[in-house]
C-alpha cells in the first residue's frame, strides 16, 4: 500500500493553495467544503476562486509564491502549470514536514486527493495512488449509483444515539450486533425512505427494549418500459433487498434478473380478458406477505400510477396499515416515444399531450372522443392494439383528419423494438399486415412526422 488512507480534519485550519486558475478552483472547492480557511497565492486569481476565498474567511495574495507563504498552514496544494514552481513548493513543504499535494505529479506528493463519494457524515474515498485517477473516478461513479444520498441521514441518525447506545452496551461486540441489526432492518428502511421521524421512533423503541411487531413493507416499483438501464437508483436498491417479488407480464426478464437472487418470485401477470390472478387476490397477497414480516416488491412495467393499478393496491395496503413506498418508473409513453424518436410535445406541433387507455375496466372503448380531437395535441393510447381500428375510426368520425400522422411502437426501448408509422386512415390496416403483438403503444399527432429525422435507437427493429 503506497498511500495510507486518512481523513484530515481541516475545519478552521489554514491551507495554502499556490495557483489561481481552474485547477486551483477545483481543489479549493473541496477544501472549502471541508471547512478550511484558504490562503491562495498567485499573480492572478479567477473571480469564482476569489469568491470562494472570501466565503472561507481566507486571504488572496496577488504575487508569486514565496516560501514564507507556508507559515501557519497545515496543508499545501501546488496547482499551477509551472512544473519547476510546483517542484519548489513540494520541496519547501517536505522540508518543513507539512503535507503537500502537487496536482498531476504523484512523485512530488506526500498526500493525494481521492475520488470522493460524499454522503456526509458518511464519506467514501477511492484512490489509485495517483496512477489511474480516471479509473478511481469511474469507480466512484459506480458507488454513487449504489449508495443513495439518504445514507448520510442514516449515519446522522446513528450519530445522535451513539453515546446512548454506548452507555447501554459497554461491550463492543454487543454494540456492533446492535448497530448491524439497525442498519439492516426496518429502522434503516424507514430512514432510507425519507421517513426520519418514524426511523427515530423505532430506534428509541429498540434502545428502550420495547417489543415491536415484525411488520413487513411493500415497495410499489415502476420497472419502466423494458430497458433495464432506465430503472431508478431507488428501484434497484429495493429490488436487491426484497424477500418476495410479485411481477407483471410487462416486466422484462433482464429487469427481473436484477432482483435479489434468493427472493421468492411470484408471477401475477395479466393479458386482456385473461387475468391469471385477479386484482383483488393480488391486493390480498401483498397484505398477507407484509403481515408475515416480509419486504415485498410489487414490480410493474412502466409507472405504477399510470394505468398500472398502483392506486388500487396501495388503497388496500393503507386500509390494513401496511407500510409502503412508491417508486415512480419511466412510463411507456415517455420511454417508447423517446426511443422511437417522437417527441410528445413540440412548439411547432403539439402544446399538450394526453395519455389514454385503449379499453376501460368493463372492456369497452367508450372514450370522450370529442375531447380527443382537439388541435395541437398528442394522443398516446396504452393497451390500444386490439381496439386500434375503432380508435382510428372514432377519431376520424369526430373530426380528426384521416391524414393525421400516427405510429405504433411494439416492445419499445428493447432490442426487439419495432415502429410502424402511417396515418389514422391506414395505421390499422398497416399493423394488421404484420405480426404485431403486445406490448404496444399508439401515438397520434403531427409530432410523429419528426421521427424520420430524430430516430436514434434502431437496435434490431424492423421499421415500416
The number of residues making up the chain comes to 464
Amino acid 464: pLDDT? 47
Arithmetic mean of pLDDT over the chain: 91
Whether the full predicted model's pTM is greater than 0.75, yes or no, is: no
Amino acid 1: pLDDT? 80
- Binding-site residue ranges: 22-23, 43-44, 225, 301-303, 306, 331-332, 383, 412
Looking at the annotation, which residues are catalytic?
248, 270
Quick check: 327 pLDDT over 60?
yes
- Is 425 in contact with 463 (CB distance < 8 Å)? no
DSSP states of 380-432: EEES-STTHHHHHHHHHHTT--TT-EEEEEESTTSTT-EEEEEETTTHHHHHH
C-alpha cell at 217: 413493507
CA-atom Rg of the chain in angstroms? 29
Amino acid 462: pLDDT? 43
81 exposed, middle or buried (CB, 10 Å; 0-12, 13-18, 19+)?
exposed
* 173-174-177-183 Cα dihedral, nearest 10 degrees: -110
Q: Using one digit for the tens of pLDDT, what is the confidence trace for 191-249? A: 888 889 989 999 999 898 886 656 789 999 999 999 999 999 889 989 988 999 999 98
C-alpha cell at 43: 499573480
- Is 382 in contact with 335 (CB distance < 8 Å)? no
C-alpha cell at 220: 410499489
- Binding-site residue ranges for S-adenosyl-L-methionine: 225, 301-303, 306, 331-332, 383, 412
Amino acid 211: pLDDT? 62
Q: Using one digit for the tens of pLDDT, what is the confidence trace for 54-96? A: 999 999 999 999 999 999 999 999 999 999 999 999 999 999 9
- Binding-site residue ranges for NAD(+): 22-23, 43-44
Amino acid 459: pLDDT? 46
Q: Using one digit for the tens of pLDDT, what is the confidence trace for 371-384? A: 999 989 999 999 98
Count of H-run helices and E-run strands, the chain: 17, 19
Distance CA(60)–CA(17), nearest Å, equals 10
- Collapsing DSSP to helix, strand or coil, 238 comes out as helix
Distance CA(403)–CA(405), nearest Å, equals 6
Amino acid 460: pLDDT? 41
Share of the chain above pLDDT 90, in %: 70
pLDDT (mean) for 385-413: 94
Amino acid 438: pLDDT? 87
Indicate the pLDDT class of residue 130, thresholds 50, 70 and 90. Answer: confident
- Collapsing DSSP to helix, strand or coil, 207 comes out as helix
Amino acid 145: pLDDT? 80
Amino acid at each position: 500500500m503506497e498511500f495510507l488512507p486518512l481523513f484530515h480534519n481541516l475545519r478552521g485550519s489554514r491551507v495554502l493553495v499556490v495557483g489561481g486558475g481552474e485547477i486551483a478552483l477545483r481543489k479549493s472547492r473541496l477544501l472549502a467544503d471541508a471547512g478550511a480557511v484558504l490562503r491562495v497565492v498567485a499573480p492572478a486569481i479567477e473571480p469564482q476562486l476569489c469568491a470562494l476565498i472570501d466565503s472561507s474567511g481566507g486571504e488572496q495574495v496577488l504575487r508569486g509564491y514565496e516560501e514564507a507563504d507556508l507559515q501557519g498552514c497545515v496543508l499545501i496544494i501546488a496547482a499551477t502549470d509551472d512544473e519547476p514552481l510546483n517542484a519548489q513548493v513540494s520541496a519547501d513543504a517536505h522540508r518543513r514536514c507539512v503535507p503537500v499535494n502537487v496536482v498531476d505529479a504523484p512523485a512530488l506528493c506526500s498526500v493525494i486527493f481521492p475520488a470522493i463519494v460524499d454522503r456526509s457524515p458518511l464519506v467514501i474515498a477511492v484512490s489509485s495512488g495517483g496512477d489511474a485517477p480516471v479509473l478511481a473516478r469511474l469507480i466512484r461513479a459506480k458507488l454513487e449509483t449504489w449508495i443513495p444520498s439518504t445514507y448520510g441521514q442514516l449515519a446522522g441518525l446513528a450519530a445522535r444515539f451513539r453515546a446512548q447506545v454506548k452507555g447501554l452496551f459497554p461491550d463492543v461486540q454487543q454494540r456492533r450486533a446492535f448497530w448491524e441489526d439497525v442498519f439492516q432492518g426496518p429502522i434503516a428502511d424507514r430512514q432510507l425512505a425519507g421517513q426520519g421521524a418514524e426511523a427515530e421512533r423505532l430506534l428509541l423503541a429498540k434502545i428502550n427494549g420495547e417489543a415491536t411487531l415484525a411488520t413487513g413493507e411493500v415497495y410499489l416499483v415502476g420497472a419502466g418500459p423494458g430497458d433495464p438501464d432506465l430503472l431508478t437508483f431507488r428501484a434497484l436498491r429495493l429490488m436487491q433487498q426484497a424477500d418476495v417479488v410479485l411481477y407483471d407480464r410487462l416486466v422484462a426478464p433482464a429487469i427481473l434478473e436484477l432482483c435479489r437472487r434468493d427472493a421468492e418470485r411470484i408471477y401475477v401477470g395479466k393479458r386482456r380478458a385473461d387475468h391469471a390472478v385477479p386484482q383483488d387476490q393480488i391486493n390480498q397477497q401483498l397484505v398477507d406477505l407484509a403481515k408475515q414480516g416480509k419486504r415485498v416488491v410489487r414490480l410493474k412495467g412502466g409507472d405504477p400510477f399510470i394505468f398500472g393499478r398502483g392506486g388500487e393496491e396501495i388503497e388496500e395496503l393503507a386500509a390494513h396499515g401496511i407500510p409502503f413506498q412508491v417508486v415512480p418508473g419511466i412510463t411507456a409513453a415517455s420511454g417508447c416515444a423517446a426511443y422511437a424518436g417522437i417527441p410528445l410535445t413540440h412548439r411547432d406541433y403539439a402544446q399538450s399531450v394526453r395519455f389514454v387507455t385503449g379499453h376501460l375496466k368493463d372492456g369497452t372503448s367508450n372514450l370522450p372522443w370529442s375531447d380527443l380531437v382537439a388541435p395541437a395535441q398528442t394522443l398516446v393510447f396504452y393497451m390500444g392494439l386490439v381496439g386500434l381500428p375503432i380508435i382510428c375510426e372514432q377519431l376520424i368520425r369526430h373530426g380528426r383528419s384521416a391524414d393525421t400522422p400516427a405510429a405504433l411502437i411494439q416492445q419499445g426501448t428493447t432490442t426487439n423494438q419495432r415502429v410502424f408509422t402511417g396515418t389514422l386512415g391506414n395505421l390499422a390496416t398497416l399493423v394488421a399486415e404484420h405480426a404485431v403483438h403486445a406490448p404496444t403503444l399508439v401515438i397520434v399527432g403531427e409530432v410523429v412526422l419528426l421521427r424520420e429525422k430524430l430516430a436514434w435507437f434502431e437496435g434490431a427493429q424492423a421499421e415500416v
